[in-house]
């Protein structure tokens, strides 16, 4: 196995589940020591109408053990990306445990199914705060040190929703478009200093969060089962499938290679040919 990230340190938000966990494991397979943080079940009060997957303590611990089984060190702790204090505390603890962050992968995210006309303000602000401001909070801590050390990789999970609208996903689409725009600015800020920044924009990915979201759309908006909606989503994809989390992990890992230094400021779509 190519351990080209031996000695590097990665921080993955949303790292206890879904795409975040897949990225964490892929980076660990390549030799990186990995810090994972997720908002855990029971931590904080969800906004009314918020759709999210919050792992439990046992899932965080299990993810840590899976990372360590790759022969690297891991740090795992609860993390609320909407809180400056939580982000700063996690960063300090992760650096104390593993060293300065070389790779930042932002996967923490939520959504909401609301029209613009009927959108509750608190829910709008929560989606933007998690999906967009959370990336700003982590990036502003890691980017200066990456610039100082003349090497860094920042990878942000956006979505095909960044460029394709949906009538009941205004906050999500707006937040993910913001992620793409922020990623481009970070890329240009780091370009002269060996730091790259890219967004990855997947379509539906086969995660617990994705299944929960599709089920909510099916049951609330369409009055049918989530299983039927998911089956239709597979059939509508030109490849007749959902994207797998491991595919996102593999792409994130590739972006960390020295051979990928010229890949920066990009919005990389992983959709199997679909638009959404």
Catalytic residues: 172
The single residue listed with the structure tokens 């990230």 is 5
The single residue listed with the structure tokens 């982000």 is 87
In this structure, are residues 246 and 205 in contact, taking their beta carbons and an 8 Å threshold? no
The single residue listed with the structure tokens 């400021």 is 265
DSSP for 170-190, written as a single string: HHHHHHHHHHHHHHHHHHHHH
Beta strands in the chain (DSSP E): 9-13, 33-38, 50-51, 74-78, 103-106, 111-112, 152-157, 195-202, 267-270
Side-chain-facing half-sphere of 179: CA atoms under 13 Å: 36
- Which among 35, 24, 97, 52 is positioned nearest to 207, based on CA atoms? 52
What pairs with residue 197 in β-bridges? 154
Side-chain-facing half-sphere of 5: CA atoms under 13 Å: 29
Rounded CA separation 36/1 (Å): 23
Rounded CA separation 17/13 (Å): 10
Rounded CA separation 37/87 (Å): 9
CA dihedral over 171, 173, 176, 177, signed as positive or negative:
negative
As a whole number of Å, the end-to-end CA separation of the chain is 34
């Amino acid at each position: 196995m190519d351990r080209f990230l031996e000695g590097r340190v990665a921080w993955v938000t949303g790292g206890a589940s879904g795409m975040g966990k897949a990225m964490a494991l892929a980076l660990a397979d390549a030799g990186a020591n990995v810090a994972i943080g997720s908002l855990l079940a029971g931590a904080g009060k969800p906004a009314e109408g918020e759709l999210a997957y919050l792992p439990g303590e046992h899932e965080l611990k299990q993810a840590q053990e899976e990372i360590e089984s790759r022969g690297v060190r891991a740090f795992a702790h609860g993390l609320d990306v909407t809180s400056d204090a939580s982000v700063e505390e996690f960063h300090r603890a992760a650096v104390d445990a593993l060293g300065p962050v070389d790779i930042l992968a932002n996967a923490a995210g939520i959504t909401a199914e609301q029209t613009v006309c009927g959108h509750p303000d608190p829910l709008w602000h929560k989606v933007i705060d998690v999906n967009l401001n959370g990336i700003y909070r982590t990036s502003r801590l890691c980017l200066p040190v990456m610039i100082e050390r003349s090497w860094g990789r920042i990878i942000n999970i956006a979505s095909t929703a960044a460029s394709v609208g949906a009538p009941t996903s205004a906050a999500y689409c707006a937040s993910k478009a913001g992620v793409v725009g922020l990623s481009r600015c970070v890329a240009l800020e780091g370009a002269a200093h060996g730091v790259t920044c890219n967004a990855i924009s997947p379509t539906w990915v086969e995660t617990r969060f994705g299944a929960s979201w599709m089920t909510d759309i099916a049951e609330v908006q369409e009055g049918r089962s989530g299983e039927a909606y998911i089956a239709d989503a597979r059939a509508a994809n030109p490849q007749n499938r959902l994207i797998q989390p491991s595919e996102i992990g593999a792409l994130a890992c590739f972006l960390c290679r020295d051979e990928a230094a010229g890949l920066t400021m990009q919005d990389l779509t992983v959709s199997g040919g679909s638009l959404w």
